[in-house]
Amino acid sequence: MANEHDGCLGTFNNGKEVADKVRAMGFSEQPMPMPLEMKCVECNKDFEMETFEAKCPHCNMVYAVTPCHAFDSENVQAAGINY
């Protein structure tokens, strides 16, 4: 029987798919177990990602990560400006 967390183990083609999945699971605004230090791929500035979906405060690039992959910033994917 499938459940809403099955997609956490799946593969995603891009950051938009990750953001869509996190939103569908209801986790986009939930705090991560541990914030991640990020360097924005768009503006190259540092920021702290505290929720499973976050926006760079400097340029509004949206980032997302599934809960089961939130332990490592390498798993975070950019979804697009204001996605």
Q: Is residue 59 part of a domain?
A: yes
pTM for this predicted structure: 0.88
Q: Has residue 39 been placed in a domain?
A: yes
Would residue 31 count as lying in a domain? yes
Residue 8 lies in a domain: no
- Domain count across the chain: 1
Cβ-count burial 49-78 (b if 16+ within 10 Å, e if not): bebbbbbbeeeebbbbbbeebbeeeeebbb
- Whether 64 is covered by a domain: the verdict is yes
The token duo for 44 is 């190259």
68 torsion bin: left (phi>0), alpha (psi -120 to 50), beta (else): alpha
Q: How far is CA 66 from the centre of its chain?
A: 6
What is the residue-level pLDDT of the chain in tens, covering all 83 positions? 333 444 566 788 999 999 999 999 999 999 999 999 999 999 999 999 999 999 999 999 999 999 989 999 999 999 999 99
In a domain, 9, yes or no: no
Range of the domain at 67: 14-81
